[in-house]
Amino acid sequence: MPDDLRPETVEALTTAPPLPATLVDQVLDASDAEREAAAAQLLDETRRFLTDAGVLRPSVGIMDLSYRTTVAIVATFGTVEGIWSQPAYQGRPLGDILKIVGAKEAAWAVGVLRWGGLLPPE
């Protein structure tokens, strides 16, 4: 923590107040399905809030990919496919594969992924 933070203030800001007894009773009386639905709704609201605040990037489905992003994925795959397709590496993530390929190829792939908007700018 930075030196100018007061731990007691941070704790006070992050501690939830006690729940009213009626709400506790409702939570305890709720069915599993009702609690699951409430949790899903709170998750959606939290995700929307964090996305609007710029903390999370908006989710993108496969059908939402732009031409540039798709080209970046395909080009990167073409660069590492020779190694990644080997049985010993098929279960490994791209980050691991980029440590195995040559430094020049890895740097190129990272640059292409940045160009395609899949990695943040340097």
Tell me the residue range of the domain where 34 lies.
7-52
Number of domains in the chain: 2
What share of the chain has pLDDT > 90, as a percent? 62
| Per-residue confidence (pLDDT) for residue 2, from 0 to 100 | 66
Same domain, 41 and 81: no
The pTM of the full predicted model, rounded to 2 decimals, is 0.58
Same domain, 37 and 67: no
Same domain, 35 and 76: no
Distance CA 38, CA 26 (A): 12
What share of the chain has pLDDT > 70, as a percent? 98
8 Å CB contact between 70 and 57: no
pLDDT score of 1 more than 70: no
Q: Which residue has the higher pLDDT, 29 or 121?
A: 29
Q: Which of 80, 71, 69 is nearest to 104 (CA)?
A: 80
